């Protein structure tokens, strides 16, 4: 290898920073997924809360309708973004593993958590929200996601002391502070960098 083909330490750091910044910008653009799922599940949870207060079972039907439709929208959006993607970085791969792991753990929790009661299921879902956003915020060094994750953890703890219906409020709060607000901040940062 010649001297022209090797990187000096400054060039190596510049390349690493460029890779991380590219991933940050891309996730901010993909912040659509965080915002989308945050709003979708918050709407489902609040609809269930209001429906329960009105002694109606209709609100629980949103879980059978909105998340499957959301999965279709999310998949189509992800495919569209993947076609635009020119380079996949290590940071992209790490984030991909974090979120695939999150969705697998969430699916297992939803399928088998009821064996331990609905309160346990909601508790573990909020913990999963916190873990996924904490790791993502750490990888991207984006503090609003890290701070938001602690709200999700706190909501999980608070939910233990609440009734089943009031847990829908905890789920909503955990998503507002761990997904929706940080997601909008991430998107705003992306847009300001790409004006």
Of 63 and 9, more confident: 63
Sign of the CA dihedral running 133, 34, 189, 76: positive
Q: Look at residue 83 and give its three-state secondary structure.
A: helix
Closest by CA to 146, choosing from 132, 163, 126, 160, is 132
| Residue 123 or 58, more confident | 123
The CA distance from 88 to 74, in Å, is 19
Q: Is 60 exceeded by the pLDDT of residue 3?
A: no
- Runs of H (alpha helix) within the chain: 9-53, 62-84, 90-112, 118-140, 143-159, 167-175, 181-193
In this predicted structure, the answer to whether residue 85 has a pLDDT above a threshold of 70 is no
| pLDDT > 50? residue 1 | no
- What average pLDDT does this structure show over 74-90? 75
- Claim: this prediction has a pTM higher than 0.75: yes
Of the listed ranges 38-42, 110-114, 139-143, the one predicted with least confidence = 110-114
């Amino acid at each position: 290898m010649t001297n022209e083909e090797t990187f000096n330490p400054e060039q190596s750091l510049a390349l690493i920073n460029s890779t991380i910044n590219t991933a940050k910008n891309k996730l901010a653009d993909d912040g659509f997924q965080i915002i989308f799922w945050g709003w979708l599940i918050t709407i489902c949870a609040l609809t269930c809360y209001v429906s329960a207060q009105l002694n109606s079972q209709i609100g629980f039907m949103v879980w059978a309708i909105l998340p499957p439709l959301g999965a279709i929208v999310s998949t189509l959006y992800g495919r569209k973004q993947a076609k635009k993607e020119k380079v996949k970085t290590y940071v992209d791969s790490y984030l991909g593993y974090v979120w695939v792991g999150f969705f697998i753990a969430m699916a297992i929790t939803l399928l088998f958590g009821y064996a331990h009661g609905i309160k346990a299921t909601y508790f573990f879902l909020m913990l999963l929200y916190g873990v996924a956003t904490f790791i993502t915020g750490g990888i991207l060094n984006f503090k609003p996601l890290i701070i938001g994750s602690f709200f999700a953890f706190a909501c999980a703890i608070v939910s233990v002391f609440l009734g089943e219906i009031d847990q829908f409020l905890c789920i909503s709060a955990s998503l507002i502070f761990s997904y929706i607000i940080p997601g909008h901040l991430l998107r705003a940062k992306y847009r300001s960098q790409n004006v």
